[in-house]
A = this chain, B = another copy of it.
C-alpha cells in the first residue's frame, strides 16, 4: 500500500491509514451531529466514503455556538477530471448547502507545473474549473483560486508559513530528497495558505474544514503545526476514500484513459469502458450461477456504491444477488451504464453552462472576500 499526495497504489487498508496518519474515525455521534443539521445522512457518510477526520467535533462545537466555518478543498489541474475526482466535491457541495459555508477551491497549477511536463498550465485549470462549477456550488459562497493566477493574494502568507516550515519537516512528511526540486519543497507552504485565508481576509478567527481524499492529509497535517504560530486556527479535516478505477486492482488514472470515466467522455464511450471493466465475476456463466461473484474486488460494484446507487436497499440487494450468482456481470454493467449515461449528459450540460459562469467563481475576478 502506497498513499502519498502523488501516488496511491496497492490494496488500501483504511484502518491502517488512520492509525499511521493519526486521524480519527468518524463516530456515530459525529454523524448524528451532522444529520441534525442536514436532516438526512448523506450517502457518502452512511457508507463511510468519508470515514476519517481531524477536529470535526471542534468544527461542530463552534457551529453549535453560532460560529460558521469555511470549507477548503482543491484540485491539481494536470489532466481531465474523472468521476473519482468529483466524489468528494459532491460531498463538499452537500456541506456547503447544509452549513451555508464559504468554499475556497484551490487549483494547484503551480504544483502541476512542477511535477508534470505541462506546456500550458492554464488549459487544465480552465477545463477543470468547468467541472467544479458544474457540481453546483453556490457562486456567492465559492471562490476558485488558481495558485499561479492569484499568487499575489497567496504569496505573503505563504512566506509567513514557509518561515515556520523546515526542510527536515517536509522531508519527513513527504519523503523529499536531495534530488527534489526547490519548488516542490516550497509548495507545501502554498497549499497551506487557503486554510488561513478565511481568517486572514476577514480579520477574525474563522474555523476551516477541509474535505478531501486522505492522501492529501500530509499537507494539512503540517499546516496544523504552523497555523497557531501565525495566530490562525488549525484547519480541521474530513477524509474520503479513493474511488477505485475500472481496471484490475482498482486502478483509475487519468494517464490510463481506459480505466477511468472522464466527465467529458461521450456517454457511449463511457458505456464501452464500463462493458470492458474488471469485475469480481467467474470464468463461466455456469460457475457464476453456481458459486456467485465477488463484489469486494469489483469496480462496477464500487461505482454503484460510491456514487450511482443512492438507495441502501438497492445496493444491498445488488450485493446479495452478486454473491448468490443471481445476477451476471453483463447485466450489472448494463445497469451501471444506464445510470452513468444520464449522469454524464446532465454533467456535460452543466459544464457547458459553466462557461458563462466562470467569472462568478474566479478569484481573479471576484477577489477572496466572501460574504459572512
Contacts and interface: CB of A to CB of B under 8 A. Distances in A.
Contacts of A152: 151-152
B155 A181 contact: no
A184 B167 CA distance: 10
A162 B186 contact: yes
A182 interface: yes
B171 A178 contact: yes
A144 interface: no
Interface of A: 110, 113-114, 121, 148, 151-152, 155-156, 158-160, 162-168, 170-171, 176-186, 188-189
Contact of A162 (B156, B165, B168, B182): B182
The 5 closest A-B pairs by CB, nearest first: A162-B183, A186-B186, A168-B178, A152-B152, A151-B155
Number of copies: 2
Nearest to A169: B182
Contacts of A114: 159, 162-163
A113 B159 contact: yes
30 contacts: A113-B156, A113-B159, A113-B160, A114-B159, A148-B156, A148-B159, A151-B155, A158-B183, A162-B181, A162-B183, A165-B181, A165-B183, A166-B178, A166-B180, A166-B182, A167-B167, A167-B176, A167-B178, A167-B179, A167-B180, A167-B181, A167-B182, A167-B185, A168-B178, A168-B179, A171-B178, A182-B188, A183-B186, A185-B185, A186-B186
A169 to B, nearest CB: 8
Nearest to A114: B163
A151 B167 CA distance: 23
A189 B151 CA distance: 15
Nearest to A153: B152
A184 B322 CA distance: 57
Most buried by B among A166, A178, A179, A183: A183
A317 to B, nearest CB: 51
Nearest to A186: B186
Contact of A186 (B156, B164, B171, B185): B185
A153 to B, nearest CB: 9
A156 to B, nearest CB: 5
B151 A165 contact: no
A183 B168 contact: no
A189 B162 CA distance: 15
A113 B305 CA distance: 50
A157 B167 CA distance: 23
A168 B178 CA distance: 5
Given A185-B182, A185-B185, A163 B110 contact: no
A164 B181 CA distance: 7
